[in-house]
Chains A and B, each alone.
Chain A
Amino acid sequence: MTRRSKTHGWMLASCLALAPAVAVATTPVSAAASPGAWLLKPGKKKSNRSKPKKKKDGVTPAQAADKRVPVQQTAQALLDSGKAAQAGLEFDRGAAAQGDPVLYLDAGDAYVEAAKADADPAMADAAIERAHIALDILYFHLDSAADEDFRLVEAAEVPALINRAEELIETAQAVQEEIAAASDPVGPTDAPPKKKGNGKGMIVAGIGLASVGGALAVLGVAGLAIGAVNQSRADKDTVYGSEYDDVETRGKRGNLLAGVGLGVGGALVAGGLVLYFLGKKRKKNAAEDDKVVRVTPTLGGMAVTGRF
């Protein structure tokens, strides 16, 4: 190798070594956070105290709107196929993921549709609750305590969404009244039918009455015995004068005890037995009435109630 070619070799090596540094120096600032950015780290660590700390999990209204789209599409497909309650649950799932007031309102609208379709007041209740949750979140958005880095809707949208929530509550309440009026043809002013108990109270009262009656009847029997004993004493020839008067008094007392005890006790036992058997019958009927399965939305998803 000649001396000239050696010099060219050094120049080429120097250029190759300098090339990345030149390239990095011309890179836009925004790209400095790329995986290769560590190459630019200066020896001395810069203080970043003056920079505002941005939270990693913050959300902007635009990001929230993007996240909302797939939930709304899935739920809309369910609504279009007449499955309003399922659409409500779908909206609920999306809403709960990050506390999205728009999706809570969408869920409320779906539950109102379900309430209308099935004449189910529980669905209207669910719609009202979703509207209230949306109101909680929307008013909190206007509060200074709300996280500035976590904005699901623009502040300018909040008043319109509050109106939407209030209208949803009014609509759901109107649906509830319609359902109540339809199920009660006499009129909404009439008192609701008194719900029959499950008969437990009657059974307990029956047992109680019969027990008290039994106790009184036992006293009555004791009275009978006292009366009989004193009667036989009074019949003896050796009993006369003041002794006869005492026996007579005791005998009368015994007869009174027997009359009251057996009369009242017997009546209580009879009444208690009637109550007991009526209670048993009512309990049986109530158990059959409860064999109804209801599916209602709750804040945690869906609730299935009833007896199986």
Chain B
Amino acid sequence: MSRSLLVFGLVLGLCTGATLAHTPVAAAMFGCDDASGLCADGGTWAADTKMTDKDRKKQSESSPGSVSLEIEGGRGSLFVNGRYAGTAPLDGISVPSGPNDIQVRDGAQVLASGMLTVPKGGNVSLTVRHD
């Protein structure tokens, strides 16, 4: 009886942990561990990739999404499609849905660079690690 209770408790604990690990709260608590230095929650991130003309055509300004940015262990500014978008922390910056060129930098140091695909009307939370 006590053994089955122990097994049940272990399974319940593992399931709860696995579920919580995928929430934004957990991401904020445990930090970004992506090799590119940027974690995107709610969008698709491709590090060191630039938009092609074909990608640019997929952008839609009529149904934009939004981007939030948090930088762990430092500061930095966000540049979207070649222009300054703001300095972290940022919340709900409007961007075209579809692929977007993203760069996050602190002065001369590029913290993250790549292509972020934002869903229509969606909000993407970016967490960047400042090494």
Contact = CB atoms under 8 A, between A and B. Distances in A.
Interface of A: 99, 129, 132-133, 135-137, 139-140, 143, 145-148, 150, 299
Contacts of B85: 99
A167 to B, nearest CB: 14
Given A135-B107, A136-B106, A139-B108, A147 B83 contact: yes
B107 A139 contact: yes
B81 A147 contact: yes
28 contacts: A99-B83, A99-B84, A99-B85, A129-B75, A129-B87, A132-B106, A132-B107, A133-B87, A135-B107, A135-B108, A136-B76, A136-B105, A136-B106, A136-B107, A137-B84, A139-B105, A139-B108, A140-B103, A140-B105, A143-B103, A145-B50, A146-B79, A146-B83, A147-B81, A147-B83, A148-B82, A150-B83, A299-B86
Interface of B: 50, 75-77, 79, 81-87, 101, 103, 105-108, 110, 113
Nearest to B104: A136
B88 to A, nearest CB: 9
Contacts of B81: 147
Contacts of B75: 129, 132
A132 to B, nearest CB: 6
Nearest to B81: A147
Contacts of B79: 140, 145-146
A145 B82 contact: yes
Nearest to B76: A136
Contacts of A140: 77, 79, 84, 103, 105
A145 B83 contact: no
Contact of B77 (A137, A145, A148): A137
Contacts of B76: 136
B106 to A, nearest CB: 7
Given A143-B103, A145-B101, A145-B113, A136 B82 contact: no
Contacts of B77: 133, 136-137, 140
A143 B109 CA distance: 11
Contacts of A129: 75, 87
Given A136-B84, A145-B79, 4 more contacts: A129-B75, A143-B103, A146-B79, A146-B83
Nearest to B79: A140
A74 B86 CA distance: 24
A129 B75 CA distance: 9
